[in-house]
A and B are shown apart, each in its own frame.
Chain A
Amino acid sequence: MLPDQEAKIEGSALPVKTREQLRTYLEGKEITSSQFDQILNRVIDEYQKTRIEACEAVGIIAAQSIGEPGTQMTMRTFHYAGVAEINVTLGLPRLIEIMDARKEPSTPTMTIYLEPDYLGDRDRAREVSWQIEAAPLHEFGDITTDMENMQIVVHLNTAVCEKRKILPAAIIEAAPRKIRERRHYRDFEFETDGKSPTIIFMPKNRESYQNLFQLAEHVKNVIVQGIDDIERVVVRKESGEYILYTEGSNLKDVFDVEGVDTTRTRTNNISEISQILGIEAARNAIINEALSTLSEQGILVDVRHIMLVADMMCMEGEVKQIGRHGIAGEKESVLSRAAFEVTVNHLLDAAVANEVDELSGVTENVIVGQPIQLGTGDVKLIAKPLKSGES
């Protein structure tokens, strides 16, 4: 390709992607300038032909494009491609979940990428995973229930602690605190001598063994290392770097862990993204999640449709559901809301609030039997035929 041809491509009013494609396809090709002009003209011509027309009912087309293949999707939850250990909801249930804007997905998972220092080394990746995976106290040592003295003795295994990169002192500090804060159990006391890696728990009320056993349960299962919401972490090597897959999601706390690449790490919990990273991130997350759910099922849907849905959901600055408690339930038109769901209540409330239906939407005009304001129904300029004698 000649430099002046390059300049011509650059100077054309084509989108970046098309210019890029032109360059790659023409790379290293022997082409005459007439051929080049022919190509460029046809590309520009075609670009102009593919512009969207005014009045096009893009919303309905988007809804149909996502809804129609729904019948072809599976209902079952499958494994992640490659990660057999972690179950993820896929297919139609996941799509419904995204559109419902649920506070918590049924299977929250994260894909955690690591910073350059950590991503090449399995052990260092493992180190990060220990900081993330919720580990109960019983994994760090022996717990014995001493029924004679009504106490629970925890001997920490220093080797395990060292391997997991946590100081025994930190565990001793965290365990009683976490039992109180996270497990909401307060009827106990504890003793440590400050030196040996041992901690002794005693119930406040020593009358009953029930209290002792109850406390023992709490002591065993209290999370002393990692992030409480993240139940499991799987380390996998993918395209030359180690990646952590998790069951459970807590974006904020994971971002605080050292070694985590906060620019690439992602979760499938959209409402969490919207809270921590903001509405624009949530919009992108909706697009990505919906698109990957669909393409995983082998269904081809143009991004533009999904973008429209995501934009509609995020319009108000928070993620709104598609349905009664979201977009469809907050429409301006009374008739449109009444025709969707909970008909009678909408009508009764409209009367008290003296609402006015301007009849601008689709359903309203169908109801009163008028042309709708979309497509050919939206054209207001009409040519009058000339009467004979006029010029």
Chain B
Amino acid sequence: MPSPKRIGRIEFGLLSPKEIRTMSVRKIIWADTYDDDGFPYPQGLMDLHLGVIDPGLRCKTCDQKASECPGHFGHIELAKPVIHVGYTRLIRKLLRATCRSCSRLLLLAEEIEKVVGTEDEQTGDVLSEKDIKKERLCPHCGEQQLKINFEKPTTFSEIMMEEGRKVEHKLTPADIRARLEKIPDADLRHLGINPEVARPEWTVLTVLPVPPVTMRPSIILENGQRSEDDLTHKLVDIIRINQRFKENQDAGAPQLIIEDLWELLQYHVTTYLDNEVAGCPPARHRSGRPLKTLSQRLKGKDGRFRGSLSGKRVNFSARTVISPDPNLSVMEVGIPLAVANEMSIPVQVTSYNIEELRQMALNGPSRAALDQPCGANYVIRPDKRRLRLAEGNLETVAEQLEPGWTVERQIRDGDIVLFNRQPSLHRMSIMAHRARVMDGRTFRLNPAVCPPYNADFDGDEMNLHIPQTEEARAEAAILVAVEENIRSPRFGGPIIGGIHDHVSGIFLLTNHTRWFSKSEALYLLKDIDLISLPEPGLVRDGEPMWSNKQVFSTALPKELNMVFKASSCQNCEVCKRELCERDAYVRIIDGKLESGTIDKKAIGAFDGQIVQRIIRQYSMKRAAEFIDDITHLAIRSIMFDGFSFGIDDEDLPRTEHGQIEEVLNAAVLDVQRRIKIYEDGQLEPMPGRTPEETLEMQIMQVLGKARDRTGEIAGRHLGLGNSAVVMAVSGARGSMLNLTQMAGCVGQQSVRGERIIRGYDERTLPHFQKGDRGSDAHGFIQHSYKEGLNPTEFFFHAIGGREGLVDTAVRTSQSGYLQRRMINALQDLKVAYDGTVRTTGGRIIQFRYGEDGTDPMKSSFGDPVDVKGIVESILKEEV
């Protein structure tokens, strides 16, 4: 393929009237578009010289069909000049900076030099309005300068003194143009204007370019009526007024009428350029909708720049709902057959693969079941002609195939595909997976890859893209693949790992010691690629038994040595190590789990210590395999015992209920006692706080403590036999706080970190006495979720819950904007070959990336070398 031409640079400048006329192919004089036969008027806005949009017609300028003709500009000769709204500020600056009679800068050469610098030594600054003193004499011709008034949107006037009174004298665009024309080129350069491409008088329009029809196509509605584009509507207005203006001018109409028409023409040209100018009512469509004119097309999120140029649409993509499949590898993605049939990969026919591709062409586009072979949708001939494969032509096309052709074959197992979930906040939001064609209508993925995508299965949809070139596939496989993105560049730790049931499952398997018979062990290890079981750890009644730790160790690499504390570790003052009653001291020697429980700390996403160590000691590929093995093992072990949670898991015996009630009653009484102290004026305020604030703080503290106490009481009763406790301790999901709220007491509801105070006069609800400061009157919920809330409690709970919802809604928009700004500010930075960080323009930002040249992704939580890990793995002991 020949390399496409590169655009080297883009230069910006103004169009001069001369240029507008030269590039124009037709002068437009008629405001009408189509005649009664539906044929465009010559010299009308839809003139065939401006390009064609109807299929079948040919452009009169380039003689090409609608699909090839890019369109051509026309022009309108304006009866009188009008101001370009976008340049009103520039015009104001120029009028104020130059003499009203000789049009030279109102500064002496020395004064200019002060700002701009000398010829050889330029400061890089340009003159601004502020550098010119007000209402002084022109240093060149001595003319008295007048104050220039500017009124939005496009009116300029001079303030004259007549008979001691201030009189405003309006400047017409023609006057302004005349003044701008006289400004010498040299003076313009000092003002930051390049006169070669942008003479200031060009900002006062005498000729208006008419954009080609291709950029304002008319659409034909269902009833056969034509509906014109907003731009065309606006151009019709301009031409109509322009014609009328000319007629009146030629007829010698009174000055007043001329002025009115001039202003009207100015209005139409203004709204044509920008329909959202301040001080100018927007031009509206018949229906009352404001027109979308030139500026509006470019501006904003869905405008040309952000909507069409920075964000592009693609083919070969699919989108559907996602659902979990723990039997897949993390590196795979399940694709519905319907999607796989529709999408394709182009394959060049060579003498080596011609037979295979011929068979695919023969199979055709319909693959009815998973076991049927992969077919093809299109065939491309060497002359770039695309042939659609259909029932009728399969044999003939397959027969014709020869090297040089391209076959677009369907997706089959093992193809590399890009998978993405919005919002794409970081690069792991797009990763390359291996395809696995499956039944059903959803994309399937291993739940272990949910954290980088931030996906769950409550109806999330995801996108799939098929790379079409060899280069794209190579980059996808080498850089974008899941196994290359296990580590996050944010902090240098793994972000793919076991979640939820993986953690619960592996916790249940490895906690303390258990023994499995051969059949049990093999059941657990079914999905792990094992050659043979290890030596049995125990022989009981002549039957070989394997310990749970042995079963787990089969998934570990053989040379792994590490010691760490599990997330169930309580951080005791003196660590009991192997004798820990929680079995939280994890010791792995030579790939064998000697003691300890595997949980979130070991294999979880974001923490996964074992995963991290495997990445560093082996590779990310090995780590991906480890995650596959461990998730499969975890799912099997959680199914081995079964794992469920129901309302009776929150049941507490009568004694515990009594204790909880006691604690809560004591707290409520304590609150009342403190309120009494406060009301008696005896409360000692904290430094810098009012007594009232102090009281509120104390109450919050007392009630918070009471809730924690109920949690402790509930926790005493609920041990590791309880599923919620298992999940909380292993770090799979939830915390002891959730359990407290379910079984003990929901606790204080708050708004902005304070008790609930809003509502009626001096009370939150009419159920309470005015001025009641008690706990229940301000949102303390004594009941647990299981007991159920009483009506006032329920209401307070809804108040507290609403705050959380509002918070999330505000936060997403704010952090989205922060992210957009950051990306925009930093996107051009890269590491140069000399190790410096530079912008793509070559400016140096850092002399050495991060001061030490370490890649945060390859680092170990920020450290260039994981010294502890290396020492541990060689000395095989804790350091």
Query: Which A positions have Cβ atoms within 8 angstroms of B?
Result: 14-15, 17-18, 21-22, 25-26, 29, 31, 35, 38-39, 42-43, 46-47, 49-71, 73-76, 78, 84-86, 92-93, 95-96, 99, 232, 234, 300-305, 307-309, 311-312, 315, 322-324, 326-328, 331-332, 334-336, 338-340, 343-345, 347-348, 350-363, 366-368, 370, 373-376, 378
Query: Does the CB pair A360–B197 fall under 8 Å?
Result: no
Contact A26 B854 (CB under 8 A): no
* Docked CA distance A352–B811 (Å): 40
Interface residues of B in 328-358 (CB under 8 A from A): none
B845 near A312 with CB under 8 A, answer yes
| Interface assignment of B153: CB less than 8 Å from any CB of chain A | no
A363: which B residues are within 8 A, CB to CB?
Answer: 310, 824, 827
Residues of A within 8 A of B174 (CB): none
Looking at the complex, which one of B87, B686, B824, B861 makes contact with A348 (CB distance below 8 Å)? Answer: B87
Which residue of the partner chain B has the closest CB to A30? B875
Q: Given contacts A15-B864, A71-B815, A376-B475, are A38 and B874 in contact (CB under 8 A)?
A: yes
Mask, B852-863, CB within 8 Å of A = 1, is 111111110111
Distance, CA A324 to CA B822, complexed state (A): 11
How far, in angstroms, from A334 to B835 measured CA to CA in the complex? 28
Q: What 0/1 pattern do residues 743 to 760 of B give for CB contact below 8 A with A?
A: 000000000110000000
Minimum CB–CB distance for B731 against chain A, Å: 14
Instruction: Knowing A328-B825, A362-B840 are in contact, say whether A339-B305 is a contact too (CB < 8 A).
Output: yes
- Assess whether B818 is in contact with A359, with CB atoms less than 8 Å apart: no
Q: A92-B815, A352-B198, A354-B11 are in contact. Are A307 and B840 (CB under 8 A)?
A: no
Closest to A18 in B: B865
Pick the most buried of A302, A323, A373, A376: most chain B CB atoms within 10 A of its CB: A302
- How far is it, in angstroms, between the C-alpha of A29 and the C-alpha of B479 when the chains are bound? 41
A85-B686 contact, Cβ under 8 Å, with A323-B825, A351-B198, A363-B310: yes
**B295 CB–A CB distance under 8 Å:** yes
Partner of A58, one of B8, B298, B831: B831
Task: List the A side residues contacting B491 at CB < 8 Å.
Answer: 65, 300-302
B867 at the interface (CB under 8 A from A): yes
Also in contact, A59 and B828, with CB within 8 A (given A43-B867, A302-B491, A355-B12): yes
0/1 string, B292-319, CB within 8 A of A gives 1? 0001001110010110011010000000
- CB proximity of B800 to chain A, nearest CB, Å: 13
Chain B residues, CB < 8 A from A378: 830
Are B490 and A18 interface neighbours, CB within 8 A? no
In this assembly, does B616 line the interface, its C-beta being within 8 Å of a C-beta of chain A?
Answer: yes
Are B830's CB and A308's CB within 8 A? no
CB contacts (< 8 Å) of A25 on chain B: these are 867-868, 871, 879
Instruction: Tell which of A42, A307, A366 touches B874, judged by Cβ atoms closer than 8 Å.
Output: A42
B489 at the interface (CB under 8 A from A): yes
A137–B812 CA distance with the chains assembled, in angstroms: 47
Q: Are A46 and B822 in contact (CB under 8 A)?
A: no
Are B309 and A73 closer than 8 Å at their CB atoms? no
Among B274, B491, B493, B840, the one with the most A-chain Cβ atoms within 10 Å of its Cβ is B840
The minimal Cβ–Cβ distance linking B331 to chain A, given in whole angstroms, is: 21
Nearest CB of A to B615, in Å: 11
Instruction: Give the chain A neighbours of B832 by CB distance below 8 A.
Output: 54
> B825 near A55 (CB under 8 angstroms)?
no
Contact A347/B12 with A63-B823, A311-B845 known, Cβ cut-off 8 Å? yes
B:629-688 near A, CB below 8 Å: 686-688
Interface residue? B802 (CB, 8 A):
no
Contact A60:B864 (CB < 8 A) given known A302-B491, A360-B841: no
Q: How many residues of B contact A (CB 8 A)?
A: 101
B738 within 8 A of A: no
Q: Among B425, B752, B857, which residue has its beta carbon within 8 angstroms of that of A71? A: B425
- Contact in complex: A17, B7 (CB < 8 Å): no
How many A-B contacts if CB must be within 8 Å? 336
**Closest Cβ neighbor of B826 among chain A residues:** A59
Bound CA–CA A147/B781 (angstroms)? 55
Interface status of B1 (Cβ within 8 A of chain A): no
List of A residues within 8 angstroms of B300 by Cβ: 343
Contacts of A56 in B (CB 8 A): 830-831, 849, 855
CB-defined contacts of A84 to chain B, threshold 8 Å: 686, 697
List of B residues within 8 angstroms of A312 by Cβ: 825-826, 829, 845
Residues from chain B with Cβ under 8 Å of A340 in the complex: 824
> Can you show 8 pairs from A to B with CB atoms below 8 A apart?
A50-B865, A57-B827, A86-B688, A302-B489, A344-B86, A354-B13, A363-B310, A367-B309
Q: Nearest Cβ in chain A — how far from B162, in angstroms?
A: 35
**Bitwise interface map of B from 195 to 213 toward A, beta carbon under 8 Å scored 1, else 0:** 0111000010000000000
B866 touches A46 (CB 8 A): yes
The interface residues of chain A lying within 8 Å CB-to-CB of B299 are 343-344
Assembled-state Cα–Cα distance A259/B862 (Å): 37
Contacts of B823 in A (CB 8 A): 60, 63-64, 67
Q: Are A354 and B197 in contact (CB under 8 A)?
A: yes
Please give the distance in Å from B19's CB to the nearest CB on chain A: 12
CA A46 to CA B858, docked complex, whole Å? 9
Q: Is the CB of A21 within 8 A of B868?
A: yes
* Contact string against A for B residues 773-815, beta-carbon threshold 8 Å, 1 for contact and 0 otherwise: 0000000000000000000000000000000000100111011
CB pair B825 A326 closer than 8 Å: yes
Min CB distance A45 to B, Å, is 9
Interface flag for B67 (CB, 8 Å): no
Residues of A within 8 A of B303 (CB): 343
Give the chain B neighbours of A73 by CB distance below 8 A. 811, 815
Task: Please report the C-alpha to C-alpha distance between residue A352 and residue B16 in the assembled complex, in whole angstroms.
Answer: 12
B192: interface (CB < 8 Å):
yes
Residue of B nearest to A232 (CB): B688
